[in-house]
Amino acid sequence: MSRRSQLLIAFLIAVVVGPAAAQQPAFTRADTLRGSVTPERAWWDVVFYDLHVKFDPADSTVRGWNAITYRVTGPSRALQIDLQTPLEIDSVVQGGKRLAHRRDGNAFFIATTGRQPRGATRTLTIYYHGKPRVAEKPPWDGGVIWARDPDGAAWISTACQGLGASVWWPVKDTQADEPDSQRVALTVPDSLQAISNGRLRGVVRRSDGWSTWEWFVTSLINTYVVAPYIGRYGQWTETYEGERGHLTLDFRPLVQHVDGARRQWQQVRPMLKCFEHWFGPYPWYADGFRLIEAPHLGMEHQSAVAYGNGYRNGYKGNDLSGTGWGLTWDFIIVHESAHEWWGNSITTADIADMWVHEAFAMYAEGLFV
Ligand SMILES: [Zn+2]
């Protein structure tokens, strides 16, 4: 290699690679703990999350607990649970004993108690509280959204694809492990409703001005598609005669938007007809299909699809294709619902493979058109 070639290569590296490398965000230990199946995650398999969270719009705080039931699949050691700063764990309890735990950024390493033989099922409960990270540009970043509806009432939700569910609740925050079922019990001021995934089991209204809404998901669920929707909602239900029988359709626009929703959300039926034809039955007949207005553009929250497309066709009223076809259908209804098959029913174990979710959802759009 000539000296001149060496200089040329050095120049190219400086000009081309240098700036690209400088733009890469620094890869941290927290990224490794969040993104890999660490030894502290590998020895146990989540069976059930029993999540209870109180949302207080007065001071933008959450407080609650998650009882995690898991099956031991290998030799036990410390157990990793994720909960992002600035949230704090108050205590971890197993078998009536408080467990020692050590924080390492957004991960906690917990010393379990009692024998943990392979095949056994155990439960530990994590109590936590704090003022969770606020989403600045949901759904593109992540966090809790403390919004207001058109009449100024509190309207709260979360978006955490990529960032992870541990931005608002303590969880094994990897797509490699999903609970077989999950409870989501949301406590909110009793002037508001609290909607989530799956079906409503009951509402407990207390004399202190707070209500608890208990939702139950009977199926496997990704942690990032668990979501609260807290606000003042209208509602109607329908039944869709689908490939696996009667499917409950539960529609929840804001109270101010029921008329627009009744018109625009008729597109749910042709969407289901198309996707059941090409991809097989909707995956969650037991939990039903819900479309619910959210204070952000949209997200594939399982059996509770977030909708924020303004009751217009296209992508916020725009035709991304430039062909005219883009304005013949509602992008968010079609795209986010496609993720029920591609993303929620079939989930990549590693977040690095998210292209599978997005590419097949985009393919589904083409089939729908
Ligand atoms: Zn998508």
How many angstroms is it from 4 CA to the middle of ligand 1? 48
Q: What are phi and psi of 227, to 5 degrees?
A: -150, 145
> If residue 152 lies in a helix (H) or strand (E), which one and from where to where?
none
pLDDT digits (tens, 9 = 90+) for 293-320: 999 999 999 999 999 999 999 999 999 8
Is 111's pLDDT higher than 70?
yes
Q: At 87, which amino acid appears? A: L
CATH 2.60.40.1730: which residues of the chain? 31-231
CATH 1.10.390.10: which residues of the chain? 236-368
User: What is the reported pLDDT for 23?
Assistant: 66
CB contact set of 346 (below 8 Å; sequence gap of 6+): 356
How many angstroms is it from 84 CA to the middle of ligand 1? 24
Percent helix, strand and coil across the chain, each rounded to 5? Answer: 25, 35, 40
Query: For all residues of the chain together, what is the average pLDDT?
Result: 94
> What's the complex ipTM?
0.99
How many angstroms is it from 132 CA to the middle of ligand 1? 24
How many angstroms is it from 363 CA to the middle of ligand 1? 11
Those residues whose beta carbon sits under 5 angstroms from the ion ligand 1 are 358, 361
| E strand map for the chain | 44-56, 61-72, 79-82, 88-94, 97-98, 101-104, 107-110, 121-130, 143-148, 154-159, 181-189, 193-195, 199-205, 210-217, 229-231, 236-242, 245-252, 289-293, 298-299, 305-307
User: What is the reported pLDDT for 25?
Assistant: 79
CA 115 – CA 17 distance, rounded (Å): 52
**CATH superfamily for domain 31-231:** tricorn interacting facor f3 domain (2.60.40.1730)
Return the SS3 of 266. helix
Residue 310: CB atoms within 10 A of its CB come to: 16
User: What is the reported pLDDT for 24?
Assistant: 73
How many angstroms is it from 336 CA to the middle of ligand 1? 6
> Is 1.10.390.10 the CATH classification of the domain at 236-368?
yes
241 exposed, middle or buried (CB, 10 Å; 0-12, 13-18, 19+)?
exposed
> If residue 274 lies in a helix (H) or strand (E), which one and from where to where?
helix 268-279
User: What is the reported pLDDT for 148?
Assistant: 98
DSSP tally for the chain: helices H, then strands E: 8, 20
How many angstroms is it from 358 CA to the middle of ligand 1? 5
User: What is the reported pLDDT for 331?
Assistant: 98
Mean pLDDT of the 145-160 span: 98
Mean pLDDT of the 12-26 span: 57
Can you read off the two tokens belonging to residue 361?
């959802």
